[in-house]
A and B are shown apart, each in its own frame.
Chain A
Amino acid sequence: MVGPIQVAASLNPKAGPSGIMETPMVEIDRLSLWYGEKQALRDISMSVPKHRITAYIGPSGCGKTTLLRCLNRMNDLIDGVRIAGTIRLGGTDIYDPALDVTELRKRVGMVFQRSNPFPKSIFENVAYGPRILGAKGRADLDGIVERSLRAAALWEEVEDRLGESALALSGGQQQRLCIARAIAVEPDVLLMDEPCSALDPIATAKIEELMLDLKNSYTIVIVTHNMQQAARVSDYTGFMLLGELVEFGVTKELFTNPRDKRTEDYITGRFG
């Protein structure tokens, strides 16, 4: 397991402080977003480092899920969304009109707040993405499915019932299946929108453990309500409030020594 980062390292060049440099995977520059007339994100700039877990915390409605959904352009599906600023994934502007959004979503996988397996078999759930991308042949798919399920720490539990409906799985298993489905297309980044909010503590612990494994291969961005969870699993944490990114930094520092008064109030439970 990768050890916790020793030295403070805010990756935003404008914030500019000290520490080891990480490789940025996603760079967000002056991002603002409006739902119709209502502004939901205000001038956000930050970078998501490669092969790390980055968490967004903040009270309900602060825009953390909106920010997350900007990263794979899931907000495109909502009518009346307008965006200003740029987001670059590995150097490419993902809002470039010439860019194929399905190609982007293949590179940026997503796991949702409530597990949403398809009403198909376990196998078909995992094979769905690869099939869309043109994977044919049972042997290929078998390999992908097994690899993905193993990576999602679900293989042992389901290997002898791959043909059964995914809806028969428990909540925690369904969520891990969704993770397997997301990583079956081998994305670079994995977005997780409060993945444990509907799960019991044991299932939550499993998912957290899984995230720590997965960060060796994927860059993970997670939105969570649960500050303990952010503190436990993430390397970097951003605190958001009313559409602004109030503070972003190494998790340990943010929790032990917040620079902003509002961050301090939130993490000490004075509001939110």
Chain B
Amino acid sequence: MRGAGRLWRSGEPFIWLTGGALALALLLVAGLVGLILVNGLGFFWPKDVVRLALADGTTRTGQIVEREPVPGKAGQFRIKLKVANRDLYGADFQWLEEGQVLRREYPGDAVVIERVEWGPLIGVVKELREGGKPVAAGPAAGWAEMAKRLPEATRIRREIRGIEKGEIGRINFEQEKIRLKLRRLELRGVTAGPEAVRAEGLPRRPSRGEPRGEDRVDALQREMADLQARYTEQEGRLAALRARQTVSVLVAADDGKEKDLPLVQVVNVYFPNAMGVAAKAGHYLGKVWEFVADDPRESNTEGGVFPAIFGTVMMVMIMSLMVTPLGVLAAFYLREYAKQGPFVSLVRIAVNNLAGVPSIVFGVFGVGFFIYFVGGTVDRLLFAEALPTPTFGTGGILWASLTLALLTVPVVIVATEEGLAAIPMGAREASYAVGATKLETTVRVVLPAVMPSILTGLILAMARAAGEVAPLMITGVVKLAPALPLDSFWPFVHLDRKFMHLGFHIYDVGFQSPNVDAARPMVFVTTLLLLAIVVLLNLFAIGLRNRLRRKYAVAAV
């Protein structure tokens, strides 16, 4: 007993206790990040395609994804094979008992084709066809011809997409604007004629956003007709482009099944068994880039997550713009102006507790207050012509950002308040002593000195907001947004639009996907990306804070 007492008093066990707690925390974090890294980073590496000859005489071609012991049968293993070709086999994955496998081979001509729909295609190129007639037969010749024609097919696919998203998108956008203008005139009782407004004795002053003298019904209808003509023209271009797409590739899969794949649907082709490490690394980087920069395909299980990255970052930015002034001003009042007493203490406790309210409650508040009340009122007052289709009276990036701003405002208030409390009285007195008013002192001395604390609060707020999902699901995040909230159509920033978000993307891909097995690696990769974005945002804010600290370091007073 005395020995134990002496040991405890020596302080040694306590050091071990503290060290152990830290080590445990680090281990948990490292384990989590490690799990994400291992599962996420391997996803884009092109795995070899194996052809398995089975005991029953059939063959299976695919990529081995997993190997595990068969439950209940000691010493036996089974493998999970990604056979792809969902349209041919019905499922992307197959479990095979290893005992059934007679032979494994890695054919060099095994091809993996990523395509626009139905997931990847695995097999062997059999022939290349043009308008249904073979132009090249056999794997080698077929691929040679295919490689020659692929760039053209890709170019045409991009052009079609460009027309659909660009020209036709713009026409649709303008048509919608004109429809709304006509509707607005209709609401004022104007349904025809260039001078109808004056005839009915209504004020001639054009209402908000309407160019003077051009908002007459006839002119608008003429414009509408013009747009319709332009639309038909673009349709014609599209049809012509599609008609030029007659090349297809015939791919042989297992069990004599074949797929005649139009070349225009081919996104990427590779022969994993024939690739060296360098080629695989190149492919890997290409896939990573595609993931970061492209739109999703196949209900989010393939392609990229660019819209989700964009949505996440933009939402965090808008949230920061909202939460910083709100939190900082509130903290200034609490600490600098309010008379300290029981009431202010109560307010402070309430603010701190606000941070503990479940985030979905904020989401519900956002829906009730921002969307239905504020958004609904805005719609009635400013966008009446669009009703019953809501403009702001539905979820959107603005309301989601505002909801998150409410969610994170306690963090900013607390951090700012603590910063204010830490500014020495001497700094303020020095300013008062030369005749500065309270406002001048606050703006010129206190604000610069508290800047690092404000940024600390903002860093915490951003990290929280970027990882939040629940309130977003009901305030404006969608599985697939047709357009980004920032584009080239006036007024460029569309705060009413719904948007995609990485956190929701993880949930959606992981739990709402029709093809969970195929989508699972995407969950890890997306998580990794979200982590990376949070780290980047934080690094940026930390860098800024350190710069400010150096600049405005508070004197040791």
Contacts and interface: CB of A to CB of B under 8 A. Distances in A.
B432 interface: yes
Interface in B527-557: 551-555, 557
A119 B553 contact: yes
A117 B555 CA distance: 7
A109 B553 contact: no
B426 A110 contact: no
B434 A129 contact: yes
Residue of B431, B433, B437 ringed by the most chain A CB atoms within 10 A: B433
A211 to B, nearest CB: 17
A118 B434 contact: no
B286 interface: no
B449 A72 contact: no
A153 interface: no
Interface string A99-137: 000110110011010111111000000001100110000
Contacts of A154: none
A105 B430 contact: no
A118 B436 contact: no
A185 B431 CA distance: 12
Nearest to B554: A119
Interface string B392-413: 0000000000000000000000
B437 A102 contact: yes
A181 B555 contact: no
A165 B552 CA distance: 9
A256 B444 CA distance: 48
Given A116-B555, A119-B554, A167-B553, A74 B440 contact: no
B434 A185 contact: yes
A254 interface: no
Contacts of A40: none
Contacts of B552: 119
B90 interface: no
A26 interface: no
B444 A128 contact: yes
A181 B430 contact: yes
Interface string B419-432: 00000111111111
B445 interface: yes
A105 B553 contact: no
A116 B445 CA distance: 12
B436 A132 contact: yes
Shortest 3 CB-CB distances between A and B: which pairs? Answer: A129-B434, A106-B435, A116-B426
21 contacts: A74-B432, A103-B435, A105-B432, A106-B435, A112-B430, A112-B433, A115-B557, A116-B424, A116-B426, A116-B430, A118-B445, A119-B553, A129-B436, A132-B431, A132-B436, A167-B555, A178-B430, A181-B434, A184-B434, A185-B434, A185-B435
